[in-house]
Structure 1
Amino acid sequence: MELKLLLLLMSLTVAATATTAEYVRPPPRKTLHFPWDRKPSSQPQQVHISLAGDKHIRVTWITNAKSSPSIVEYGTSPGKYSSMAEGETTSYSYLFYSSGKIHHTVIGPLEHDTVYFYRCGGGGPEFQFKTPPSQFPITFAVAGDLGQTGWTKSTLDHIDLCKYDVHLLPGDLSYADYIQNRWDTFGELVQPLASARPWMVTEGNHEKENILLLEDGFESYNARWKMPFEESGSNSNLYYSFEVAGVHTIMLGSYAYYDEYSDQYNWLKADLLKVDRKRTPWLVVLFHVPWYNSNEAHQGEGDEMMATMEPLLHAAGVDIMLAGHVHAYERTKRVYNGKSDPCGAIHITIGDGGNKEGLAQRYKNPQPEWSIFREASFGHGELKMVNSTHAFWSWHRNDDDEPVRSDQVWITSLVSSGCVAEKRPELRKILMAP
């Protein structure tokens, strides 16, 4: 992007003054109910894709036929498949419900920024996706706490309008809440988007279902939404990391053990040791329960995790932290240990995808010094990493049935500000501690 254009866009940035929006919201919308669609038992359903390591994509789908092969045929021309890969399957049961055959197949190596055409299981409809670019710019769509309401559909429609490369979802996907066929309807609802761009997700409280008294409680989530945890050295699908186009993204688990003796904490230290800020100058973190939240809803729920992990992530120079859980939108200044800090992270709460529980409309007053903008409306975010030093964040309210940009800010990376180099001794000390 030319310097003049960059300066012009930066001049349009919203002023950094604390704001609580007074937008008058329309009434809530009902949960969507889908008509019964009896597909052939072998036809792929609920198709979605995710990143699976460098130049690889994981394709996931479900069939009702137990004998359906877990193969994906793919190529760069419609109807012409030059490559094929075979994957693995899983399934699960809960009371009178039995899932279909859940297929996970990793394809690649793939070219960057390229459209591929593919079909699953050797038949059925053809899908297509575009791989992310290998370098800046890259755009992430962000929306958490989706559910399956009319507002969810509006959010998805608006995300579909933006030119994004990867979708980030900080927890609470389907709101199935033990009703297992709601996982299936959610998969069908998001398929048009999730089959065309990678969806990278982490778990929320509504994914924890404790099916058949299983200890971890994430049986259906783990079976359906497999993420690249093994590729990132994690031993749990509840936390992992991935890299794409100059961005190292860490997906943490708010509902996995996170104390200093936990597997997650030790994995996080090991993952941060591998981060090369010359290769990935941007460091982004996602989790479900926000650490900086001035809404009355879910106050203090992230305090213990923050007390354990914030010093580590601050020392690592995390640029942006994205969370859900609170059904509203909020953006902070750069903050650390409860106070403004030029080397701290910007925290964004975006649990406003459209869930059935409605909006969290009560905020604490006075507005904290670290809180810049907050509004209880449904919507989605767009995070564009323009280059190694500048990113543009915008939040788009969808309560008008059209995406209205209601908040925006240019963000300068901590690498370019010197914070990362300044804190490197502190980081090494923490990472190398037993």
Structure 2
Amino acid sequence: MEPKLVILTLFLLVCSTVKADGYIRPPPRETLHFPWSPKPSSHPQQVHISLAGDKHMRVSWVTDDKSAPSIVHYGTSPGRYSLMNQGESTSYSYIFYSSGRIHHTVIGPLEPNTVYYYQCGGQGPEFQFKTPPAEFPITFAVAGDLGQTGWTKSTLDHIDQCRYDMHLLPGDLSYADYMQWRWDTFGELVQPLASARPWMVTQGNHERESIPIFKDGFVSYNSRWKMPYEESGSNSNLYYSFEVAGAHVIMLGSYADHDEYSDQYHWLQADLAKVDRKKTPWLLVLFHVPWYNSNEAHQGEGDSMMETMEPLLYAANVDIVLAGHVHAYERSERVNKGNSDPCGAVHITIGDGGNREGLAHKFKEPQPRWSVFREASFGHGELKIVNSTHAYWSWHRNDDDEPVRSDQVWITSLVSSGCIAEKSNGLRKFLMEP
């Protein structure tokens, strides 16, 4: 290997392993190996889907053939495609790496709760997905900090066993950490699930991959995992919102500017002000770095975002906040400003999807009063919103069978609690003030 390449590799490894908070990770877990499997250059790879506005779905995939068309044929019967849409494509380079052609094609309008069959690029295998329902009940699978280890595979296998409509991922997808080919192997790893149900994701610290002077952050993430930011009025793929079956879901960027003068802050104000709780009685928020965290790992990293944005979420009566980053599970009571509050949000840390850095075993003692349940184990969560007033949350430890619920709780919406009426005076002014 040439000296310059050796120095660059060492630099990238240091960038990906040094932790600003000084936290020393437990031993890493087994990393999956992906044997090379040659495919035709126009063969669709890394297929995944995501919502793209009302009644539309974005289909994304990669081809080695730079001239392959960005078309999707689809229909409601196997092998019979009565509909077709043309999309767009992009690519990027990263030091010595050049990506394949990355295709994004929006299809629709689609019927809710319906199975569609589709083919990418006019050739290759047939895929199928099921659209989410238009009304309750709806079930979300939730797992953050996935990576590509044996634990990741176990998490995905468990999620595949549950009956869910959509996957929510609060950051840290591939753990590529500058090694761009890991984005490709991650895409292949999650394809069986991500091509069949929409995956709605936001960025984590492992997506940044910035090299000062040479490369801005998030180029790989933004190129590969395009989310409906334009459809929700955002000017950045790092934060956006969408609505599905009576829930308004907001995906925020822990690593995008979030002070009160930032574009993200003003977008959040406007987005919250537009929420109609009669149409979407449940309001969910996801971001990467948790605000409520009793683990010794990553203490205080979310404080600045919490100070700026928690008043907005509280005023808007956000029901549930889901975060990752800490490689353990924790669930809070309804909380606001560090104290239990019946009109605050339930905060759940679910950064235990299977990453290679290991678990965060050390929790702070004594356990805070707002912390209800915490455990350093790999697993995933399931949120079933039953109706406008009740949702059932469960956490499933990988060490157990998927049907085993290691933690579970019924959550009553703030719509039905009286909190919204109490805080309604001046709410719109607070959310929209400059």
TM-score by length of 1: 0.93
Give the equivalent residue in structure 2 for 1:16: none
How far apart are residue 96 of structure 1 and its match? 1.5
What SS class does the counterpart of residue 61 from structure 1 fall into? strand
Across the aligned residues of Structure 1 and Structure 2, the Cα RMSD in angstroms comes to: 1.3
CA contact (8 A) 1:88 1:105 kept: yes
Distance in 2 between the 1:429 and 1:364 partners? 39
CA contact (8 A) 1:117 1:126 kept: yes
Q: Does residue 86 of the first structure (1) align with residue 86 of the second (2)?
A: yes
Alignment deviations for residues 388-414 of structure 1 (CA, whole Å, 9 cap, x no partner): 000000000002465531000000000
Distance in 2 between the 1:105 and 1:217 partners? 24
CA contact (8 A) 2:29 2:357 kept: no
Give the equivalent residue in structure 2 for 1:288: 288
Query: Which stretches in structure 2 are left out of the alignment for 5+ residues?
Result: 1-25
How far apart are residue 28 of structure 1 and its match? 6.2
2:135 counterpart letter in structure 1: Q
CA contact (8 A) 1:291 1:306 kept: yes
Q: Does residue 427 of the first structure (1) align with residue 427 of the second (2)?
A: yes
How far apart are residue 138 of structure 1 and its match? 0.2
Larger CA deviation: 209-218 vs 349-358: 209-218
Distance in 2 between the 1:232 and 1:50 partners? 14
Query: Which stretches in structure 1 are left out of the alignment for 5+ residues?
Result: 1-25
Distance in 1 between the 2:427 and 2:381 partners? 30
How far apart are residue 429 of structure 1 and its match? 2.8
Give the equivalent residue in structure 2 for 1:217: 217
CA contact (8 A) 2:47 2:195 kept: yes
CA contact (8 A) 1:312 1:427 kept: no
Give the equivalent residue in structure 2 for 1:49: 49
Q: Does residue 125 of the first structure (1) align with residue 121 of the second (2)?
A: no
What SS class does the counterpart of residue 361 from structure 1 fall into? coil
How far apart are residue 159 of structure 1 and its match? 0.2
Distance in 1 between the 2:131 and 2:165 partners? 7
Give the equivalent residue in structure 1 for 2:37: 37
Give the equivalent residue in structure 1 for 2:159: 159
How far apart are residue 430 of structure 1 and its match? 1.3
Give the equivalent residue in structure 2 for 1:299: 299
1:241 counterpart letter in structure 2: S
Distance in 2 between the 1:85 and 1:212 partners? 39
Q: After superposition, where does 1:181-192 map in structure 2 within 5 Å?
A: 181-192=181-192
How far apart are residue 425 of structure 1 and its match? 1.9
Distance in 1 between the 2:211 and 2:133 partners? 39
Distance in 1 between the 2:28 and 2:84 partners? 45
Alignment deviations for residues 340-384 of structure 1 (CA, whole Å, 9 cap, x no partner): 000000000000000000000000000000000000000000000
Distance in 2 between the 1:255 and 1:213 partners? 18
What SS class does the counterpart of residue 425 from structure 2 fall into? helix
Distance change in 2, residues 1:402/1:280 (3 Å) = closer
Distance in 1 between the 2:374 and 2:231 partners? 36
Give the equivalent residue in structure 2 for 1:22: none
CA contact (8 A) 1:397 1:403 kept: no
Give the equivalent residue in structure 1 for 2:324: 324
Distance change in 2, residues 1:72/1:301 (3 Å) = same
Distance in 1 between the 2:81 and 2:319 partners? 40
Give the equivalent residue in structure 1 for 2:262: 262
How far apart are residue 166 of structure 1 and its match? 0.5
How far apart are residue 37 of structure 1 and its match? 1.1
What SS class does the counterpart of residue 157 from structure 1 fall into? helix
Give the equivalent residue in structure 2 for 1:59: 59
CA contact (8 A) 2:28 2:357 kept: no
What SS class does the counterpart of residue 257 from structure 2 fall into? coil
How far apart are residue 273 of structure 1 and its match? 1.2
Q: Does residue 376 of the first structure (1) align with residue 376 of the second (2)?
A: yes
CA contact (8 A) 2:27 2:357 kept: no
Larger CA deviation: 346-355 vs 415-424: 415-424
Q: Does residue 204 of the first structure (1) align with residue 181 of the second (2)?
A: no
Give the equivalent residue in structure 1 for 2:21: none
Alignment deviations for residues 123-182 of structure 1 (CA, whole Å, 9 cap, x no partner): 000000000000000000000000000000000000000000010000000000000000
Give the equivalent residue in structure 2 for 1:415: 415
Could you tell me the percent identity over the aligned residues? 82
CA contact (8 A) 2:388 2:413 kept: yes
CA contact (8 A) 1:398 1:404 kept: no
What SS class does the counterpart of residue 325 from structure 2 fall into? coil
How far apart are residue 33 of structure 1 and its match? 1.1
Give the equivalent residue in structure 2 for 1:276: 276
Give the equivalent residue in structure 2 for 1:242: 242
Distance in 2 between the 1:28 and 1:433 partners? 47
Distance in 2 between the 1:60 and 1:225 partners? 8
How far apart are residue 212 of structure 1 and its match? 7.3
2:91 counterpart letter in structure 1: S
Runs of 4+, deviation exceeding 6 Å: none
CA contact (8 A) 1:154 1:401 kept: no
What SS class does the counterpart of residue 404 from structure 1 fall into? coil
Alignment deviations for residues 316-354 of structure 1 (CA, whole Å, 9 cap, x no partner): 000000000000000000000000000000000000000
Give the equivalent residue in structure 1 for 2:174: 174
What SS class does the counterpart of residue 425 from structure 1 fall into? coil
Give the equivalent residue in structure 2 for 1:387: 387
Distance in 2 between the 1:266 and 1:424 partners? 20
Alignment deviations for residues 59-95 of structure 1 (CA, whole Å, 9 cap, x no partner): 0000000110000000000000010000000000112
Larger CA deviation: 422-431 vs 336-345: 422-431
Alignment deviations for residues 33-68 of structure 1 (CA, whole Å, 9 cap, x no partner): 100011110000000000000100000000000110
What SS class does the counterpart of residue 206 from structure 2 fall into? helix
Give the equivalent residue in structure 2 for 1:334: 334
